[in-house]
Amino acid sequence: MPTVSVRRDLLFAALGRSYTDEEFDELCFEFGLELDEITSEKDIIIKEKGEEKAKGASDVVLYKIDVPANRYDLLCLEGLVRGLQVFKERISVPRYEKIIPAEGEIQRLIITEQTTQIRPHAVAAVLRNITFTKDRYESFIDLQEKLHQNICRRRALVAIGTHDLDTISGPFTFTAKAPSEIKFKPLNQSQEYTASQIMDLYRTDSHLRHYLPLIENKPRFPVIYDSNGVVLSMPPIINGDHTKISLNTRNVFIECTGTDITKAKIVLDIIVTMFSEYCEKPFTVEAAEVVYPNGKTHIYPELAYRKEKVKPELINKKIGISETPSSLAKLLTRMCLKSDVIGNGNHLEIEIPPTRADIIHACDIIEDAAIAYGYNNIQMVIPKTYTIANQLPLNKLSELLRLDLAAAGFTEALTFALCSQEDIADKLGMDISVTNAVRIANPKTLEFQVARTTLLPGLLKTIAANRKMPLPLKLFEISDIVVKDPNTDVGARNYRHLCAIYYNKSPGFEIIHGLLDRIMQLLEVPPNKEKGYTIKATEGSAFFPGRCAEIFAKGQSIGKLGVLHPDVITKFELTMPCSALEINIEPFV
């Protein structure tokens, strides 16, 4: 969850009253938030760097508030205060208005074809006649950073640029050029650099170096120019110093470029709705026109309001309350979702504002109604369905076997359910086609290409990583393996396997065989053909010829045991002989 840091005195001034720490903690809980920490800038520095570095730091009290990851409208002081004030019914839900200037006066952002393969989307808007103070300015910058880290996915999906409109002139052009052709003075720098030099300059920057990989290997870098060739920004890396915003800035041009147009529109809507309250005419935003490479145009920001209908009985049923439709409408209005009762009380009509991109489904509306009602106010009742929780028989058997295998001197290991194709096929002397393995469609690494079809490779790799431990090494694992099965709805099936391994200077086949006998004794399976278990000589690609046996129980083959082949041992970077046992324990449930 994102954490928003706000100064206590600023917060209380904006709320119009003071709270004790306990009262504000309670208010946050009622609103669905959490007051995570009460600290100060000085305390933070002491904790991170020591008392020496904290000399001269501010003692102003900071509230650190945990905000749900999808509530982008609460990521700054302005949105937080607005939400709390509406929740406490001190103000009504504001109405955001888009003002479209007369023909010829609207700011235009022209997107060229060169951006298609890099960052094809862009949106823009203008905050006209805005008044900044030091605190408002800092909040404006901080909101952009919070959005970059959250919905923008570290600028990979969207990058925000804000500029002093009075220092530039439209129309603006969003294009892409070779790094050597781009030259400008980056934000807070004293000289001009080419794009290549800028990348080198910020390679050691603790903040900006994380964003360089987004474009550094591209043949062209995205860049935004004004009509005079002044560079506004090189997204997603840095803005130009020429358009830097200051406390004296009156008109702000906002552009959001990215690879996801939906996220870009949400980000633009959040920024303009949060800070339009400081405009000369509060909650108004001047629109901008974006011209696409195909000649089509679109007016942004969209500031789209939409209406949803939900039945009051559905809300009551899902939450477990019995409120009237008018009461539910009032609860939702307190959550900035203006609601009215329609159709003889059969439906609620809820207006979703542009600040609430998190409202996707009726369940999101029901959740807000529950928050406004108060989770602590929902009466606890005994469920109508009477059930008693119980452990799955297979899991219970697994737990019992784990205890006794540990008592037999074996150490339990837990290995990854995913492995490489080489682990379950080549290293065990098999072809991948006969393993019936489930493959991962887009594996991130070679180590996680398929779901394991046997537990043996994981234990062998565990031994390889612990070769310096004193011998013998005796490991076991009871976990699931996965194989393809066209008869299931998901096309695959899990089986619970038990695998044990003995690694020493001698193979120790008798140790593994003895462990099998002990397991069968615990399972109350006698050593006979009819109703018990038997072993029969067989061959296996992973086992030494003549040193492998198949295990039969309950009329079916349940696994194998034997001495591993020297080639298998070598491929797993081991040097000592090894014996292993692997069985399916599901027939014994």
Task: Write down the pLDDT at residue 364.
Answer: 93
Please answer whether residues 415 and 572 qualify as being in contact, where contact means their C-beta atoms are separated by less than 8 angstroms: no
**Residue 144 pLDDT level (bands cut at 50, 70, 90):** very high
79 occurs within a structural domain: no
What would the pLDDT profile of 564-588 be if each residue is shown by its tens digit? 999 999 999 999 999 999 999 999 9
CATH number of the domain within which 150 lies:
3.50.40.10
pLDDT at 198: 92
Q: Under a CB-based contact definition with an 8 Å cutoff, are residues 241 and 186 in contact?
A: yes
Coil vs helix vs strand at 464: helix
Q: Using the predicted structure, report yes or no on whether residue 493 has a pLDDT greater than 90.
A: yes
* Domain boundary pick from 238, 267, 300: 300
What's the pLDDT at 406?
Answer: 95
Confidence of residue 365 (pLDDT cuts 50, 70, 90): very high
Contact 278, 140 (CB under 8 A): no
What is the C-alpha R_g of the chain?
33
Contact call for residues 331 and 366 (beta carbons, < 8 A): no
Quick check: 47 pLDDT over 80? no
**Backbone φ, ψ for residue 535 (5° rounding):** -120, 145
Average pLDDT over residues 522-547: 89
Share of the chain above pLDDT 90, in %: 70
The CA distance from 559 to 553, in Å, is: 9
* 475 pLDDT above the threshold of 90: yes
Predicted local distance difference test score (pLDDT) of residue 76: 92
SS3 192: coil
Do residues 439 and 450 make contact, with C-beta atoms less than 8 angstroms apart? yes
Q: Which residue has the higher pLDDT, 101 or 530?
A: 101
Q: Are residues 164 and 281 in the same domain?
A: yes
Q: 242: pLDDT confidence band, cut at 50, 70 and 90?
A: very high
| Residue 82 counted as domain residue | no
Confidence of residue 234 (pLDDT cuts 50, 70, 90): very high
Task: Give the confidence band of 498 by pLDDT, cuts at 50, 70, 90.
Answer: very high
Could you tell me if 271 and 328 lie in one domain?
no
Over 80: is that where the pLDDT of 453 sits?
yes
Residue 347: inside a domain: yes
Q: Are residues 178 and 266 in the same domain?
A: yes
Q: b or e along 258-277 (b: 16 or more beta carbons within 10 Å of the residue's beta carbon)?
A: bbbbebbbbbbbbbbbbbbb
Q: Is residue 307 in some structural domain?
A: no
More confident site: 59 or 261: 261
**Mean pLDDT for the stretch of residues 7-21:** 90
pLDDT for 387: 78
pLDDT at 435 over 90: no
Instruction: Report pLDDT for 49.
Output: 66
Task: Tell me how far apart the alpha carbons of residues 379 and 374 are, in angstroms, rounded to a whole number.
Answer: 10
Mean pLDDT to the nearest integer, 221-232: 93
**Is the predicted pLDDT of residue 424 greater than 70, yes or no?**
yes
User: Is 169 inside any structural domain?
Assistant: yes
Domain count of the chain? 4
Query: What is the predicted pLDDT for the residue at 48?
Result: 65
The CATH number assigned to the domain holding 369 equals: 3.30.56.10
Q: Is residue 311 part of a domain?
A: no
**Residues 135 and 42 occupy one common structural domain:** no
Question: Using CA atoms, how far apart are residues 77 and 441, in angstroms rounded to an integer?
Answer: 43
Residue 277: inside a domain? yes
Question: What number is the average pLDDT over the span 438-461?
Answer: 90
- Does pTM surpass 0.75? no
Written as one string, the DSSP assignment of 410-461 is PEE----SEE-HHHHTGGGT--GGGTTPPBPSS-SSTTSSEE-S-SHHHHHH
Q: Each residue of 370-388: pLDDT tens digit?
A: 999 998 899 988 877 777 7
Residues 125 and 217 placed together within one structural domain of the fold: yes
Same domain flag for 154 and 64: no
208 inside domain: yes
Instruction: Say how far apart CA 448 and CA 79 lie, in whole Å.
Output: 43
Do both 122 and 233 map to the same domain? Answer: yes
Q: Are residues 420 and 543 in the same domain?
A: yes
**pLDDT recorded at residue 388:** 79
563 CB contacts (<8 Å, ≥6 apart)? 507, 509, 543, 544, 547, 548, 577, 578, 579
- The pLDDT of residue 419 is above 80: yes
Q: Do 41 and 58 form a contact (C-beta atoms < 8 A)?
A: yes
Average pLDDT estimate for 512-534: 90
Q: Is the pLDDT of residue 127 over 90?
A: yes
pLDDT digits (tens, 9 = 90+) for 247-289: 999 999 999 999 999 999 999 999 999 999 999 999 999 999 9
The Cα–Cα gap between 40 and 52 comes to 16
**Residue-averaged pLDDT of the chain:** 91
**Has residue 57 got a pLDDT over 80?**
no
- Do 367 and 399 sit in the same domain of this protein? no
CATH code of the domain covering residue 521:
3.30.930.10
Position 103 pLDDT exceeds 90: no
Same domain, 331 and 402: no
581 with 460, same domain? yes
Give me the percent of the chain exceeding a pLDDT of 70: 98
Q: What is the span of the domain harbouring residue 181? A: 97-300
Do 529 and 410 have their domain in common?
yes
